[in-house]
């Protein structure tokens, strides 16, 4: 009996993860408004009744997927910005590596997160505790002490995030401007990892 319960629990977890993975893919591609629950069910390879059994509604599933995406985005950041043994330059390298690596494998993540932040920033901020994780971190203290005089640390953080994220938000336009195909643009993004770290460190030295 106990073995059957364990198997049933594992099956439930696998099904839930399968649905969430499918939902994340469809939401990122179509957005909340244009996505139907049937689209998610088809992507997951399950029937609509099973999807509704696990998550009740599209909005409920979207909220879960959205918060998990934000937590994924912030997961590595908290450990970096709170590390008191890591130098400011070391934190810059680690943050750029974290963001760029994450975005290379999840290129639609920035647009997905930003679109929802516009709609529901308060709930997301309170759930993942962005303010406490970033603004009250050792990283911000270091920027105040070692960064450009009289420049608010948020400017530095905005530049860092912007340099990492913008190429993904503006990818279609930048491909046209640079006459780049997918392979060429990916190469550019990989080169950008080192460049962003260099640029951000130069800001600190001014």
pLDDT value of position 7: 35
At 87, give phi and psi (nearest 5°). Answer: -65, 165
CA dihedral of 26, 31, 34, 38, whole degrees rounded to 10: 30
What top-level class would CATH report for the domain 66-204?
mainly alpha
The CA-based dihedral angle spanning residues 108, 109, 110, 112, taken in that order and rounded to the nearest 10 degrees: 90
The pLDDT score that the predictor gives to residue 122 is: 65
Model confidence at 8: pLDDT above 60: no
Structure confidence at residue 3 (pLDDT): 39
Sign of CA dihedral 32, 38, 41, 47: positive
Check if the beta carbon of residue 115 is closer than 8 Å to that of residue 31: yes
Q: Which of 15-19, 127-131, 136-140 has the lowest mean pLDDT?
A: 127-131
pLDDT digits (tens, 9 = 90+) for 14-45: 889 999 999 988 988 887 788 999 999 999 99
Q: Where are the domains of the chain?
A: 1-56, 66-204
Instruction: Classify domain 1-56 at the CATH class level.
Output: mainly alpha
141 CB-near residues (< 8 Å, 6+ apart): none
* Whole-prediction pTM: 0.77
């Amino acid at each position: 009996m106990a073995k059957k319960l364990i198997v049933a629990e594992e099956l439930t977890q696998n099904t839930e993860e399968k649905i969430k993975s499918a939902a994340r893919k469809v939401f990122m591609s179509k957005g909340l408004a244009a996505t139907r629950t049937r689209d998610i069910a088809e992507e997951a390879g399950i029937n609509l009744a099973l999807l509704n059994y696990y998550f009740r509604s599209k909005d409920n599933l979207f909220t879960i997927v959205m918060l998990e995406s934000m937590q994924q985005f912030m997961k590595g950041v908290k450990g970096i910005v709170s590390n008191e043994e890591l130098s400011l330059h070391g934190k810059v390298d680690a943050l750029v590596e974290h963001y760029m690596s994450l975005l290379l494998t999840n290129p639609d993540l920035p647009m997905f997160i930003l679109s929802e932040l516009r709609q529901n920033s308060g709930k997301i901020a309170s759930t993942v505790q962005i303010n406490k994780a970033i603004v009250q971190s050792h990283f911000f203290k270091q920027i105040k002490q070692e960064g450009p005089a009289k420049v608010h640390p948020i400017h530095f953080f905005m530049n860092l995030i912007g340099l990492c994220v913008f190429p993904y938000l503006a990818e279609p336009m930048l491909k046209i401007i640079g006459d780049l195909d997918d392979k060429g643009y990916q190469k550019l993004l990989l080169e950008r990892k080192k460049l962003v770290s260099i640029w951000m460190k130069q800001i600190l030295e001014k």
